[in-house]
Structure 1
Amino acid sequence: MTLHKEGRKILFFSLLLFAGIFFLFEYVLETPTWVNNSVLALLIIFYLVILQFFRSPKFIINKDERHILAPADGKVVVIEDTLEDEYFKGKRKQISIFMSPINVHVNRSPISGVVKFCKYHAGKYLVAWHPKSSTENERTTIVVETTKGVEVLFRQIAGAVARRIKWYVNEGDMIEQGGEFGFIKFGSRVDVFLPMDAEVKVNIGDKTKGGRTIIAELKS
């Protein structure tokens, strides 16, 4: 298990902060030993929680141009036919995955191809499962076109806690299936918009693993 680069500064400054808090209790406030030990235990637990959030597991990605891989670890919260009006401006099949604070928050490309569209939107911070979060929250929209001309849109959406979206691709870039395209800090959601004839392979409530779980299969 390795740590993601997005966590390095947070982990460093958290360590300084927690060390300062413990120093305050131990040497300034001169609180009883049991209090100091309790504070130390809580600080260690909090630090380990932050540490596990930024874990970045390594694994083999089984690539298949017909498969749509989950873009993130989490739980499937939406499967529906919907109108995607930012890029396609037409009906698409939507699959949404909610990431809790305990999930790995690395975002991975569902398919291989060229980035045809990439746009960042500032916005609100509604809870990630709110119906309007997909169109009103801080978000990025990325469209990748496969070698067969199939376009798949995926959207990073910030939640009530997550207020920092990172993305690492630009229009014209090539990206591999399962390759890392971004990161969202502290709980959020990713929407995937597919052709209407795509066959969904997951159900509401299913747990997914980014870059490993097959969430749909393309017909062409």
Structure 2
Amino acid sequence: MALMQSLQMVLAPPHRAATPFLLGGAAVALIGGLIAGGWLFWPGAAFVAFCLYFFRDPERTPPARPGLVIAPADGRVVLVGPAVPPVELGMGPETRWRVAIFLSVMDVHINRWPVEGTVRRIAYRHGKFLSANMDKASEDNERNAVAIALPDGRDLTVVQIAGLVARRILCFAREGDVTEAGARFGLIRFGSRTDVYLPVGVRPLVSVGQTMIGGETVIAELESRAS
């Protein structure tokens, strides 16, 4: 069963965002196979294979129990601790628990909604491209922050952060959209980080070093409260 699940993830069809890269790589392979002695075929074919793997978009099954915060991305937890949400969202100086997930180029890069709610605000900020596993990447790197209003009036923030290699953040959501836990809302090319700022008083259930499965791993319970 585990082997089958691993194969399904590796062989999952690519997201539509891969289309221009796949066409470009295929064109290089095709033209390279006809001219220049054929040597360009292999770099083009290798690029196509890499894009098929990088942009893979497997199906995920979020937990059925309500009141959970789900991991918004695959990857490894690199930071867990109190922090202030991005200033461009205008959420004030109050700290809340933050969980930072680092995505290597080998991870699935589809971002998924961590909770049900409504997109209250989206704020994009240009910045640097430091290694995404560094703490200061939250402040200095290019990012896209999304504030989600929960049905009970609280709020949660998810932030897409560009990394050392990543140069493009894609967010398919708009302000006012209704979010569904586990549903796709964006991706980042190529290697990145995704941060979640939990509602005030909610504590994370994960720790640094844990591996996350986007759309499935539980990172917090909305009814958990800080003492």
Q: Which residue identity does 2:77 align to in structure 1? A: V
Distance 2:213 2:124 in 1: 25
| Residue 191 (str. 1) matches residue 206 (str. 2) | no
Q: How does 1:131-150 map to 2 (within 5 A)?
A: 131-150=135-154
Any residues of structure 2 matched to 1:31-180 within 5 Å, and which?
43-84=44-85, 86=87, 87-89=90-92, 90-180=94-184
Question: Could you say which residue in structure 1 is the equivalent of 2:23?
Answer: 12
Aligned partners of 2:196, 2:116: CA distance in 1, in Å?
14
Cα deviation for residue 201 of structure 1 reads: 1.6
What TM-score do the two structures reach when normalised by structure 2? 0.85
Equivalent pairs, count: 210
Q: Which residue identity lines up with residue 79 of structure 1 in the other structure? A: V
TM-score by length of 1: 0.88
Three-state SS of the structure 2 residue aligned to 1:169 is: coil
SS in 1 for 2:95: strand
How far 1:41 moved relative to its partner?
A: 5.5
- Determine helix, strand or coil for the equivalent of 2:135: coil
Give CA-to-partner distance per residue, 1:127-152, whole Å, 9 cap, x none: 11222211221111101111111200
C-alpha separation in 2, matches of 1:43 and 1:8? 14
Measured in 2, the distance between the counterparts of 1:190 and 1:201 equals 17
Q: Which residue of 2 aligns with 1:209?
A: 213
Aligned amino acid, residue 14 of structure 1: G
Q: Judging changes above 3 Å, is the alpha-carbon distance between structure 1 residues 173 and 61 closer, same or farther for their aligned structure 2 residues? A: same
Q: Which has the larger radius of gyration?
A: 1
State the percentage of identical aligned residues: 34
Instruction: Determine if contact 2:79/2:101 at 8 Å carries over to the other structure.
Output: yes
What is the Cα-based RMSD across aligned positions, in Å? 1.9
Q: Label 1:146 to 1:196 Cα distance change in 2 as closer, same or farther (>3 A).
A: closer
Residue type at the aligned position of 2:151: T
Report the alpha carbon displacement of residue 43 of structure 1 after superposing the two structures with TM.
Answer: 4.9
Are 2:24 and 1:21 equivalent residues in the alignment?
A: no
Deviations 1:100-132 (A, max 9, x none): 111111100100111111111112111112222
Matched residue SS, 1:56: coil
- C-alpha contact 2:26 2:44 (8 A) present in aligned 1: no
> Alpha-carbon deviations, 1:15-59, whole Å to 9, x = none?
1123333444535xxxxxxxx5xx756654443222110110113
Name the one with the larger strand percent: 1
192-201 or 109-118: which moved more?
192-201
Q: Is the 8 A contact 2:62 2:70 kept in 1?
A: no
5+ residue gaps in structure 1? Answer: 28-35
